[in-house]
Amino acid sequence: MTSDRRPGRPRSETARRAILSAAMEELQQHGYAALTVEGIAARAGVGKQTIYRWWPSKADVVLDSLLDLAAERITVPDEGSLPADLVAFLTETFEQRGQRPVLIGLMAQALLDPVFATAFRDRFLFGRRAALREILDRAIARGEIAPDVDPELLIDVVYGVLWYRLLLDHAPLDAAAGRQLASLVVRAVR
């Protein structure tokens, strides 16, 4: 067994955390459009180079902040029936108050930068899809979903509505909306 340390001064965990926090604070206060690498560095008390050394863009910093925060929070309910699972999952998912600035900022960046888009999909969005897929797979096993319904389309419907409302901000995004959508989905798969 050998030491897995690389030579040289190790990466500063203090700086890493200061950067992630600073990014979230700047974002919450001034919005994603006003977010700058220089601003993050200044607030974190860190050199710009320390940011560029570890993250290819400011969006990747924000994504890491989000993943750090959301790490523990993905819970897949297992209530025994599709309607119960869906309501539990969607009411929780739809109550992402405060996350809107983060999510639309990341999405904006993903739309402008294909490289980041891949990271965003793989590290964030696809994880959420997998959680929902688990619920649907259990429902399929129980025979709660008609065999001619494509579960991937159902996932698109659920997250489509979520993101569409997140982006347009034209309709409420809360537990009630989650319940309403859950009931529509249940109706559609019979």
User: Rounded to whole angstroms, how far apart are CA atoms 91 and 181?
Assistant: 10
Nearest to 127 by CA among 67, 186, 168: 67
Pick from 108, 130, 147, 175 the residue near a copy of itself by CB under 8 A.
Answer: 108
Is 53 buried (19+), middle (13-18) or exposed (0-12) by CB count in 10 A? exposed
Among 11-19, 61-69, 83-91, 182-190, the segment contacting a copy of itself (CB under 8 A): 182-190
Q: Is 104 in the site for a copy of itself (CB under 8 A)?
A: yes
Pick from 67, 69, 167, 176 the residue near a copy of itself by CB under 8 A.
Answer: 167
Q: Is 27 in the site for a copy of itself (CB under 8 A)?
A: no
> Smaller CB distance to a copy of itself: residue 80 or 128?
128
Among 52-60, 72-80, 134-142, 156-164, the segment contacting a copy of itself (CB under 8 A): 156-164
Least gap, CB of 126 to a copy of itself (angstroms): 8
H-type alpha helices, 31-174: 37-44, 48-54, 58-70, 82-94, 100-112, 114-120, 126-141, 151-168
Least gap, CB of 113 to a copy of itself (angstroms): 6
Structure tokens given for 11 = 């990466």
